[in-house]
């Protein structure tokens, strides 16, 4: 069975600084997707970024980028120029084609003014 | 915009009651999911469905059942609510296959007293 681990229950970053959230996963599949979801206090889960495992290039969405290391089964999220609105729970997730999504335990990110 | 709607944002029920949580999606997604979210545990899959009338048990199905009579609607049923089922419940949907991404409802915070 696939598992997703996030070793940092809580992180904090100064506004305008950069922070990296860690995620590792375990799977025997070669093709899959990895995701970072954000859950603000409103509770609405929002997709931040997605990475297809067959793509070697790391995904980027504005201030958000990932470092995908397939051999090491590592998928970290870097947030640049952190803003107060980035404060939220961040969940790393794995999905195989057409199958269910497996989530990590989450990292609570605080942004300090 | 994709919309996943859960019938209640907050719910308080008594021990032993039969509880129905409803979820509707408007994007013709094949897959629908029910997750339970607890602090420090992330999102744990209760059940998922990949087609009408089809269902598969997730990681924590005990005490729950589901119904999917129409493609757009997926119901979670607590047969006899217990206090240890007090939690946040999240519904999600996705296409089956490539370009998969889970879209979430706003969550139902259920309290069983």
Least confident of A54-58, A61-65, A84-88: A54-58
- State the average pLDDT over residues A32-36: 94
Spell out which residues of chain A touch residue B49, defining contact as CB-CB under 8 Å: none
pLDDT mean over A45-69: 94
The answer to whether residue A56 neighbours chain B at the CB level (below 8 Å) is no
- Is the model's pLDDT at A31 over the cut of 90? no
- The pLDDT of residue B81: 97
Segment A46-55 shows an average pLDDT of 93
Say yes or no: domain A3-102 is CATH 3.30.750.24.
no
Residue B98 pLDDT exceeds 70: no
Domain of residue B91, residue span: 4-112
Domain count for chain B: 1
Q: Is A60 exposed, middle or buried (0-12, 13-18, 19+ CB in 10 A)?
A: exposed
| pLDDT of A98 higher than 70 | no
Q: Give the residue among A76, A106, A104 at the shortest CA–CA distance from A88.
A: A106
Average pLDDT, chain A: 94
pLDDT recorded at residue B101: 87
pLDDT in tens, B14-44: 999 999 999 999 999 999 999 999 988 899 9
| pLDDT 10s digits, A71-85 | 999 999 999 999 999
Residues B92-104: b if buried by 16+ CB within 10 A, e if exposed: bbbbeeeebbbbb
pLDDT digits (tens, 9 = 90+) for B57-94: 999 999 999 999 999 999 999 999 999 999 999 999 99
Nearest CA-CA partner of B14 in B63, B62, B82: B82
**Highest mean pLDDT (candidates A62-76, A89-103, B40-54):** A62-76
Nearest CA-CA distance, residue A60 and chain B, Å? 16
How far apart, in whole angstroms, are the C-alpha atoms of residue B84 and residue A113? 38
Interatomic CA distance for residues B105 and B113, integer angstroms: 24
B101 neighbourhood in chain A, CB within 8 Å: 33, 35, 47, 50
Helix (H, G, I), strand (E, B) or coil at A58: coil
Structure token pair of residue B38: 């607890």
Instruction: Specify the CATH number for the domain of residue B107.
Output: 2.60.40.10
Q: Is A100 on the interface with B (CB under 8 A)?
A: yes
Is B102 close to A104, i.e. CB distance below 8 A?
Answer: no
Q: Which of B43, B88, B96 sits opposite A103 (nearest CB)?
A: B43
Residue of B nearest to A3 (CA): B44
The gap between the terminal CA atoms of chain A, to the nearest Å, is 41
pLDDT of residue B57: 95
> Per-residue pLDDT for A21 more than 90?
yes
Separation between Cα atoms, residue A51 and residue A97, nearest integer Å: 13
Non-local CB neighbours of A98 within 8 Å, separated by 6+ positions:
B30, B31, B50, B96, B97, B100
| pLDDT tops 90 at residue B100 | no
- Annotated domain spans of chain A: 3-102
Contact flag B58-A100 (C-beta cutoff 8 Å): yes
Whether A98 and chain B come into contact, CB under 8 Å, resolves to yes
């Amino acid at each position: 069975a696939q598992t997703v681990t996030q070793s940092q229950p809580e992180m904090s970053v100064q506004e305008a600084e950069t922070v990296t959230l860690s995620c590792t996963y375990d799977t025997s599949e070669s093709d899959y997707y990895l995701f970072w979801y954000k859950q603000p206090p409103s509770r609405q889960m929002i997709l931040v970024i997605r990475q297809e495992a067959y793509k070697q290039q790391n995904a980027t969405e504005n201030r958000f980028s990932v470092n995908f290391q397939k051999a090491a089964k590592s998928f970290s999220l870097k947030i640049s120029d952190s803003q107060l609105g980035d404060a939220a729970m961040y969940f790393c997730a794995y999905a195989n084609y057409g199958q269910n999504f497996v989530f990590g335990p989450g990292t609570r990110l605080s942004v300090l003014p | 915009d994709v919309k996943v709607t859960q019938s209640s944002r907050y719910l308080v029920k008594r021990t032993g009651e039969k509880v129905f949580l409803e979820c509707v999606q408007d994007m013709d997604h094949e897959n629908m999911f029910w997750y339970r979210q607890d602090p420090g545990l992330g999102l744990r899959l209760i059940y998922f469905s990949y087609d009408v009338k089809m269902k598969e048990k997730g990681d924590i199905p005990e005490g729950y059942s589901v119904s999917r009579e129409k493609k757009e609607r997926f119901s979670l049923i607590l047969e006899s609510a217990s206090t240890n089922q007090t939690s946040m419940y999240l519904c999600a949907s996705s296409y089956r296959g490539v370009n998969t991404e889970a879209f979430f409802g706003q969550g139902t915070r259920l309290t069983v007293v």
